[in-house]
């Protein structure tokens, strides 16, 4: 009997599609346990955005945590043997919700590319991030930034410590007046204040914005960051959906090179975050490049989906005492025609039916 394709939600559809895409590029599915040693997150607390972690004492006395992040677990546990390790995952993480102040279960699908050639890895990650967005919806924007460019500018201007954090915070809200105020308070000169404030408007179409950013370069670190961005973007293909925005900040603090965020028309916030995190690998004692991204599957639920007019095509009302064999045969005959059928004794409340039929013994009628 030919099965009818179910009314997939955006999340289900995308998950299936992306599994195929990632496996085509040589990524293997990776499953991480729900719990990790709490000590791991304590050690890397500065890399994790957001405060609280759900922890509990296991039966053997070990302090465990519901994982707030998948990347950290994969980076720690993956065996690297010279070549690259490529993994993708579909997992839940547990984080504090900024809007409700309560813990939230968040479903993520993402990939990690550990080891191998860094330049190729980030070009591939960038390409796949854009393909990921394309798989969800046609109207999308993939935004890029590079921490090296920002930190290079901060170094050149002598912006350090708490002032640096405050400027970064103002940058994330594109508050040019806030950036200027904080920079002035930190004793930065007029030219420096202007350069920092300019970062807020340094966003838009990739090539044009890159050219504008080059005018701000004050040291080799900034130039190298832009070159790296350009190399990855050129390799992945520059189109109008690719943008540069130096106010972009990731969902996690461990991104220390190229960073990306993906937006879909109709979703109120970024649905994809990713980037390069070699520094995290180093802290884990591993000398390897690392790049990855995660798609926030829960945020896709709010996107418009093709609405079916009804929940079932045929509601078959069968009274008590019907012959079950005949009834099932009738259901199979209808489903065989590709119809969705539900049997009940009376119309269920709230169920949208294409048509209602009454089954009476041998005969059925509309």
Least Å distance between CB 302 and other proteins?
A: 9
Distance, in Å, from the CA atom of 263 to the CA atom of 271, rounded to the nearest integer, reads 6
- Rounded to an integer, what is the distance from CA 181 to the centroid of its chain? 33
Binding-residue pattern over the window 330 to 349 for other proteins, x denoting contact by CB under 8 A: --------------------
Using CB under 8 A as the binding rule, whether residue 99 contacts other proteins is answered as yes
Least Å distance between CB 178 and other proteins?
A: 7
Distance, in Å, from the CA atom of 54 to the CA atom of 66, rounded to the nearest integer, reads 6
Using CB under 8 A as the binding rule, whether residue 46 contacts other proteins is answered as no
H/E/C letters for each residue in the chain?
CCCCCCCCCHHHHHHHHHHHHHHHCCCEECCCCCEEEHHHHHHCHHHCCCCCCCEEECCCCCEEEECCCCHHHHHHHCCCCCCCEEEEEEEEEEEECCCCCCEEEEEEEEEEEECCCHHHHHHHHHHHHHHHHHHHCCCEEEEEEEHHHHHHHHHHHCCCHHHHHHHHHHHHCCCHHHHHHHHHHCCCCHHHHHHHHHHHHCEEEHHHHHHHHHCCCCCHHHHHHHHHHHHHHHHHCCCCCEEEECCCCCCCCCCCCEEEEEEECCCCCCCEEEEECHHHHHHCCCCCCEEEEEEEHHHHCCCCCCCCCCCEEEEEEECCCCCHHHHHHHHHHHHHCCCCEEEECCCCCCCCEEEEEEEECCEEEC
Using CB under 8 A as the binding rule, whether residue 98 contacts other proteins is answered as yes
Using CB under 8 A as the binding rule, whether residue 145 contacts other proteins is answered as no
Nearer to other proteins, 164 or 174 (CB): 174
Distance, in Å, from the CA atom of 104 to the CA atom of 66, rounded to the nearest integer, reads 11
Using CB under 8 A as the binding rule, whether residue 173 contacts other proteins is answered as yes
Q: Which range of residues in 25-33, 43-51, 167-175, 285-293 is near other proteins by CB under 8 A?
A: 167-175
Size, binding site for other proteins by CB under 8 A: 20
Nearer to other proteins, 39 or 98 (CB): 98
Binding-residue pattern over the window 257 to 286 for other proteins, x denoting contact by CB under 8 A: ------xxx-xxxx----------------
Distance, in Å, from the CA atom of 58 to the CA atom of 245, rounded to the nearest integer, reads 44
Nearer to other proteins, 236 or 264 (CB): 264
Least Å distance between CB 260 and other proteins?
A: 13
Nearer to other proteins, 246 or 263 (CB): 263
Using CB under 8 A as the binding rule, whether residue 214 contacts other proteins is answered as no
Least Å distance between CB 307 and other proteins?
A: 20
Nearer to other proteins, 99 or 346 (CB): 99
Among 107, 174, 286, 326, binds other proteins (CB under 8 A): 174
Using CB under 8 A as the binding rule, whether residue 50 contacts other proteins is answered as no
Taken as a whole, the chain contains a residue count of 366
Which residues inside 231-250 make contact with other proteins, applying CB under 8 A?
A: 243
Nearer to other proteins, 178 or 354 (CB): 178
Among 4, 177, 185, 214, binds other proteins (CB under 8 A): 177
Binding-residue pattern over the window 8 to 37 for other proteins, x denoting contact by CB under 8 A: ------------------------------
Among 9, 175, 223, 364, binds other proteins (CB under 8 A): 175
Using CB under 8 A as the binding rule, whether residue 161 contacts other proteins is answered as no
Distance, in Å, from the CA atom of 132 to the CA atom of 274, rounded to the nearest integer, reads 12
Nearer to other proteins, 24 or 265 (CB): 265
**Beta-carbon neighbour count of residue 151 at 10 Å?**
17
Q: Which residues form the interface with other proteins (CB under 8 A)?
A: 98-99, 139, 141, 143, 173-175, 177-178, 203-204, 243, 263-265, 267-270
């Amino acid at each position: 009997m030919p099965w009818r394709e179910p009314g997939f939600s955006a999340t289900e559809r995308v998950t299936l599609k992306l599994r195929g895409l990632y496996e085509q590029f040589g990524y293997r599915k990776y499953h991480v346990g729900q719990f990790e040693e709490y000590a791991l997150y304590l050690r890397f607390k500065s890399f994790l955005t957001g405060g609280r972690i759900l922890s509990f004492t296991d039966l053997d006395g070990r302090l465990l945590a519901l994982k707030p992040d998948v990347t950290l677990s994969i980076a720690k546990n993956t065996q690297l043997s010279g070549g690259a390790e490529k993994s993708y995952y579909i997992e839940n993480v547990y984080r504090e919700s900024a809007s409700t102040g309560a813990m939230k279960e968040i479903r993520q699908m993402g990939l990690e590319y550990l080891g191998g050639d860094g330049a190729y890895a980030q070009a591939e990650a960038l390409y796949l991030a854009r393909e990921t967005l394309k798989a969800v919806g046609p109207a999308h924007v993939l935004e890029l930034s590079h921490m090296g460019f920002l930190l290079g500018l901060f170094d050149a201007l002598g912006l350090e410590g708490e002032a640096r954090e405050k400027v970064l915070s103002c940058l994330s809200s594109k508050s040019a007046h806030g950036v200027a105020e904080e920079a002035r308070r930190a004793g930065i000169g007029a030219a420096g204040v202007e350069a920092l404030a300019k970062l807020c408007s340094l966003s838009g179409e990739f090539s044009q914005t890159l050219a504008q950013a080059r005018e701000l370069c004050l040291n080799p670190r900034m130039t190298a960051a832009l070159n790296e961005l350009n190399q990855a973007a050129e390799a992945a293909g520059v189109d109008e959906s690719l943008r540069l925005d130096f106010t972009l900040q990731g969902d996690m603090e461990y991104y220390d090179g190229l960073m990306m965020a993906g937006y879909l028309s109709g979703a109120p916030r970024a649905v994809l975050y990713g980037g390069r995190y070699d520094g995290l690998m180093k802290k884990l004692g591993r000398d390897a490049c690392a790049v990855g991204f995660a798609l926030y599957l829960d945020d896709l639920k709010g996107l418009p989906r093709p609405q079916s007019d009804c929940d079932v095509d045929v509601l078959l009302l069968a009274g008590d005492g019907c012959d079950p064999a005949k009834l099932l045969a009738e259901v199979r005959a209808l489903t065989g025609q590709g119809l969705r059928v539900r049997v009940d004794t009376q119309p269920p409340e709230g169920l949208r039916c294409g048509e209602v039929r009454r089954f009476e013994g041998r005969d059925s009628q509309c």
